[in-house]
Amino acid sequence: MCNDLKHSFNKIIEGNNNWMEFVKNDTSGRFEQLSKEQHPEILWIGCADSRVPANEITGTKPGEVFVHRNIANVCVHSDMNMLSVLDYAVNVLKVKHIIVAGHYGCGGVAASLSRNQFGIIENWLCHIKDVYRLRAAEIGAIEDLECKTDRLVELNVEEQVFNLCTTSIVQNAWKNNQPLAVHGMVINIASGELINQNCTFTSKESLGKVFAYK
Ligand code: ZN
């Protein structure tokens, strides 16, 4: 390995040595317990961006948040990875809250507003273009590109929350009276704030006839 590669890889090993030291010095027994089981109450679906780590932003510890991340926190019904995470979180872990967390300045959302080709990723970003299409009048009226992107970040979160609520996984949990809330939030990286978008669903009632299963 060249020196540059060695340097960045060693940083991870050193970091892990520090973490092992921290775990060794912890006398609460929680790591011993965590090695056997997990009971997280939250499923976090966030962006893969390196600046938005779920635990740090929510002040939670290992074992408290079940995490799925992808580019621009997209939840589509054909994504087996997301559906498997959702099914496991809802039906096995019985999480109480699902949080879709977008973030201002999201590169994926910004790219979706462009007419450039980006290779294979543009097929994924097209799901965000679909959100744009639904709200084109509102977003089109915003002139500043940064503001346009940030508004689409918020609308994308709302749409992905809706997509989760239209899965049979979430609706069957509600049907079985399992307490489950699906929230949309947006992270301001500069201030660290996690901003509630007030688009929470706790039942199928407001989904509309076509989307709410019998
Ligand atoms: Zn992002």
What's the CA gap between 172 and 176, in Å, rounded?
Answer: 6
Question: Strand, helix or coil at 115?
Answer: coil
User: Which amino acid makes up residue 83?
Assistant: L
Q: Is 51 assigned a catalytic role?
A: yes
Residue with tokens 């097209």: 126
Report the run of H or E that residue 123 belongs to, with start and end: helix 121-134
pLDDT bracket for residue 150 (50, 70, 90)? very high
Catalytic residue among 68, 103, 151, 183: 103
Catalytic residue among 2, 4, 39, 49: 49
Task: Report how far ligand 1's centroid is from the alpha carbon of 194 (Å).
Answer: 14
Q: What are phi and psi of 41, to 5 degrees?
A: -100, -5
Query: In this structure, which residues have their CB less than 5 angstroms from ion ligand 1?
Result: 47, 49, 106, 108
* Residue range 58-105, pLDDT digits in tens: 999 999 999 999 999 999 999 999 999 999 999 999 999 999 999 999
- The residues pairing with 186 across neighbouring beta strands, listed in sequence order, are 102, 195
**pLDDT of residue 209 exceeding 90:** no
Q: Is 106 assigned a catalytic role?
A: yes
Task: Report how far ligand 1's centroid is from the alpha carbon of 97 (Å).
Answer: 21
**pLDDT of residue 1 exceeding 90:** no
Mean pLDDT of the chain: 97
